[in-house]
Amino acid sequence: MSSGLDLENQYCAHNYHPLPVVLTRGEGVYLWDENDKKYLDMMSAYSAVSHGHSNPRVVEALKQQAETLCIVSRAFYTDKLGAFLKLACDVTGQDMALPMNTGAEAVETAVKAARRWGYESKGIETDKAEILVCTGNFHGRTTTIISFSDEAEYQKNFGPLTPGFKVIDYGDADALEAAITPNTAAFLVEPIQGEGGIIIPPKGYLKRCKEICEANNVLLIADEIQCGLGRSGRMLACDHEDVKPDGLILGKALGGGVMPVSMFLARQDVMDIFVPGTHGSTFGGNPLAAAVGTAALNILVEDQLADRSRDMGDYMLAELNKIDSGLIQDIRGAGLFIGVEIDPAKGTAREVCERLMDRGLLSKETHETVVRLAPPLIITREQIDWAITQIREVLQEMDEVRLAS
Nearest Cα to 132, choosing from 150, 156, 151, 152? 150
Q: 203: exposed, middle or buried (C-beta count within 10 Å: 0-12, 13-18, 19+)?
A: exposed
The model's pLDDT over 93-146, given as tens digits with 9 standing for 90+, comes to 999 999 999 999 999 999 999 999 999 999 999 999 999 999 999 999 999 999
The model's pLDDT over 244-281, given as tens digits with 9 standing for 90+, comes to 999 999 999 999 999 999 999 999 999 999 999 999 99
pLDDT recorded at residue 335: 98
The model's pLDDT over 333-374, given as tens digits with 9 standing for 90+, comes to 999 999 999 999 999 999 999 999 999 999 999 988 999 999
Please, what is the angle between helix 305-320 and helix 287-302, to 10°? Answer: 60
Q: What is the mean pLDDT of residues 366-395?
A: 97
Cis? peptide before 276, omega within 30° of 0 = no
The domain spans of the chain are: 4-54+305-404, 56-302
CA distance 284 to 110: 15
| 344-373 core/surface letters (b: 16 or more CB in 10 A; e: else) | eeebbbbbbbbbbbebbbbbbbbeebbbbb
Comparing 4-54+305-404 with 56-302, is the CATH topology the same?
A: no
Q: What is the CATH number of domain 56-302?
A: 3.40.640.10
pLDDT band, very low/low/confident/very high, at 3 (cuts 50, 70, 90)? confident
The model's pLDDT over 279-338, given as tens digits with 9 standing for 90+, comes to 999 999 999 999 999 999 999 999 999 999 999 999 999 999 999 999 999 999 999 999
What three-state secondary structure class fits 126? Answer: coil
Please give the mean pLDDT across all residues of the chain. 97
pLDDT band, very low/low/confident/very high, at 1 (cuts 50, 70, 90)? very low
pLDDT band, very low/low/confident/very high, at 403 (cuts 50, 70, 90)? confident
CA distance 337 to 232: 6
User: Per CATH, which fold does 4-54+305-404 belong to?
Assistant: Aspartate Aminotransferase, domain 1 (3.90.1150)
Instruction: Judge whether residue 53 has pLDDT over 80.
Output: yes
Nearest Cα to 55, choosing from 299, 275, 307? 299
Q: Indicate the length of the chain as a whole number.
A: 405
Residues assigned a catalytic role: 138, 223, 252
CA distance 198 to 364: 13
pLDDT recorded at residue 2: 60
Instruction: Judge whether residue 402 has pLDDT over 90.
Output: no
CA distance 129 to 148: 14
Nearest Cα to 263, choosing from 277, 243, 247, 278? 247
The model's pLDDT over 162-207, given as tens digits with 9 standing for 90+, comes to 999 999 999 999 999 999 999 999 999 999 999 999 999 999 999 9
Phi-psi region of 3 (alpha: psi -120 to 50; beta: other; left: phi over 0): beta
CA distance 134 to 331: 22
